[in-house]
């Protein structure tokens, strides 16, 4: 039974994220008078569809993608409504819209998650542990943590992310105390649980403004974590084998579904958090300048804006086709690693 619910939840989450992404392209294309041939959820053979006006709305067999087929997307076209014949700023809006919708969905879901919380933990000191690094540096209860090691702290996630990158050497901690900013020197300590500053954080009663702040900065935080992780991947600090594809994601969804069955509402919120991370990941990843992704197409539009002349669609299409083939190979490798981890 758990397997059925896992598959159902995974298909539902994937379809919603894909639908929202492609809807961004679709809405902006229609508003900017670009011809849309097909709006599809899923890839592979068509299961069913309905023609309405010039656009075919379809559902395809494999819920691992989707597309919004635009006239003149990869080839030249004599149609005045073709994407290839539109100004660069129009192309840019249509291409960015998909990722924007994913990020917006993540933000709205986080507003819902935080909005349902009675209290929110904030980067403000509730207790200073006796004999800890914080006590030695002069941190006091009530201090609001503004920055750590030169990085601005807005939410608890920012603080934990920066703290875990520290070593046992002196660094800068900026706090706000009684309306004044104070710069303290703190030397983090290593404990069995990891790097510690020696403070316990405060939980504040939730209100509208705290919900909005927490939702917005958590969206920014997730995007930042994704980008920094990709940078570490390119630098070789993280192995490609540690990446997860659809199989690994389904496994995580399965764990969240099982937790939902055991813990009810609390488990469901964790499943919702996973959906938030996935939609923000999809939004950020699609903006990367990689051929076949929206970011790769945006890269060509930026070149067009610089040279004031579009690159022939056929040549650009060839680059995207090669990029798509490489992405498929990478996906197969990641799927293989996912299977090995599950085994």
- 22 tagged catalytic: yes
Q: Are 315 and 303 in contact (CB under 8 A)?
A: no
pLDDT bin (cut points 50, 70, 90) of residue 194 is: confident
Helices (H), the chain: 2-31, 88-115, 133-137, 156-163, 208-235, 246-263, 265-285, 294-307, 313-342
Dihedral, 121, 225, 336, 20 alpha carbons, nearest 10:
80
Q: Are strands 199-205 and 119-128 parallel, antiparallel or unpaired?
A: antiparallel
Mean pLDDT of the region 167-187: 92
Q: Are 26 and 18 in contact (CB under 8 A)?
A: no
| Greater pLDDT, 277 or 342 | 277
Dist CA 197 CA 194 (whole Å): 10
**Within 13 Å, how many C-alpha atoms sit on residue 239's CB side?**
5
Dist CA 42 CA 51 (whole Å): 17
* Domains of the chain, start order: 2-114+273-342 (no CATH), 119-205 (2.30.42.10)
**Percent of the chain, pLDDT > 70?**
87
Average pLDDT for the chain: 87
**Catalytically annotated residue among 22, 71, 162, 316:** 22
Q: The pTM is what?
A: 0.87
Question: In this predicted model, what pLDDT tens digit does every residue of 272-300 receive, in sequence order?
Answer: 888 999 999 999 989 988 888 899 899 98
Give helix 208-235 / helix 156-163 axis angle, nearest 10°: 30
pLDDT bin (cut points 50, 70, 90) of residue 244 is: low
- Pick the closest to residue 13 from 249, 248, 219 (CA basis): 249
| Greater pLDDT, 107 or 338 | 107
Question: In this predicted model, what pLDDT tens digit does every residue of 67-117 receive, in sequence order?
Answer: 999 998 878 888 999 998 999 999 999 999 999 999 999 999 999 999 999
pLDDT bin (cut points 50, 70, 90) of residue 342 is: low
Dist CA 293 CA 283 (whole Å): 11
Dist CA 140 CA 134 (whole Å): 8
């Amino acid at each position: 039974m758990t397997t059925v619910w896992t598959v159902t939840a995974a298909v539902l989450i994937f379809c919603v994220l894909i639908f929202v992404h492609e809807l961004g392209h679709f809405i902006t294309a229609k508003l900017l008078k670009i011809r849309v041939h097909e709006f599809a959820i899923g890839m592979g053979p068509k299961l069913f569809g309905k023609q309405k006006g010039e656009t075919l709305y379809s559902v395809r067999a494999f819920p691992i993608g989707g597309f919004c087929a635009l006239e003149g997307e990869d080839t030249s076209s004599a149609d005045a409504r073709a994407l290839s014949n539109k100004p660069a700023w129009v192309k840019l809006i249509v291409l960015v819209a998909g990722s924007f919708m994913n990020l917006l969905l993540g933000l709205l879901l986080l507003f819902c998650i935080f909005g349902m919380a009675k209290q929110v933990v904030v980067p403000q000191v509730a207790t200073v542990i006796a004999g800890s690094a914080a006590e030695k540096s002069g941190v006091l209860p009530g201090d609001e943590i503004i920055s750590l090691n030169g990085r601005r702290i807005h939410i608890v996630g920012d603080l934990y992310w920066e703290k875990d990158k520290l070593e046992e050497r002196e660094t800068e901690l900026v706090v706000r105390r009684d309306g004044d900013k104070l710069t303290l020197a703190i030397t983090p300590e290593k404990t069995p649980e990891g790097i510690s500053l020696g403070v316990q954080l405060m939980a504040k009663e939730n209100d509208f403004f705290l919900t909005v702040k927490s939702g917005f900065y958590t969206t920014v935080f997730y995007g930042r974590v994704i980008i920094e992780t990709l940078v570490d991947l390119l630098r070789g600090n993280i192995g490609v084998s540690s990446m997860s594809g659809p199989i690994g994601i389904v496994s995580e969804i399965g764990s969240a579904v099982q937790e939902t069955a055991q813990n009810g509402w609390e488990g469901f919120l964790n499943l919702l958090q996973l959906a938030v991370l996935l939609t923000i990941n999809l939004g950020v990843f699609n903006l990367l300048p990689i051929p076949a992704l929206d970011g790769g197409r945006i890269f060509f539009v930026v070149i067009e804006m610089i040279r004031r002349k579009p690159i022939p669609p056929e040549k650009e299409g060839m680059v995207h086709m090669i990029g798509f083939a490489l992405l498929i190979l990478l996906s197969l490798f990641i799927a293989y690693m996912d299977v090995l981890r599950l085994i």
